[in-house]
Amino acid sequence: MKETHAHSGFEHATLTTYIIGFVVSIILTLTAYILVVNEYLPKASLVGTIISIAILQALVQLFYFLRMGTEPKPQFNALIFAFMALVLVIIVFGSLWIMYNLEYNMSMLPRERGEH
C-alpha cells in the first residue's frame, strides 16, 4: 500500500536564505550608518538615500525572513500587507500633519492668528 502525503507548496526557508538575508541586511545597515556619520552626501540627498535604503531593508526582511511570496496563497498575504502599509502611511503622515499644525498654532500669538 502506497502512502500519499499532501504537499503544501510552501517552500521552507533554508540556512542559506537566512544567511543571505542577514548579510544583505548588515550591508544595508552599515551603508546607511557610514553615509550619515561621514556626511558623504548633502542633507537633501541623504534623506532620500536613507529612505531608499530603508525600503530595501524592509523588502529584504519580507522576502528573506518572513518568506513573503513563497506561501501557497500569496495574494491573501499581499492584500494584508498592502492594508498594513496603508494604515502605516496614514498613521505616519497623520501624525506629522498633527505635529505641524500643533507647532504652527502654538508658535503664534493670538493676535497674529486674528483672535482678539
Per-residue pLDDT tens digits for 8-40: 444 566 888 889 999 999 999 999 999 999 988
Residue 8 main-chain phi, psi, to 5 deg: -75, -20
CA angle in degrees (0–180, nearest 5) for 85-89-92: 135
DSSP 11: P
The model carries a pTM of: 0.59
d(CA 81, CA 51): 19
Identify whether the C-beta of residue 67 lies closer than 8 Å to the C-beta of residue 39: no
pLDDT at 69: 66
Helix (H, G, I), strand (E, B) or coil at 97: helix
What are 62-83's pLDDT values in tens digits?
Answer: 888 877 766 666 677 778 878 8
The phi-psi region of residue 3 (left if phi > 0; otherwise alpha if psi is between -120 and 50; otherwise beta) is beta
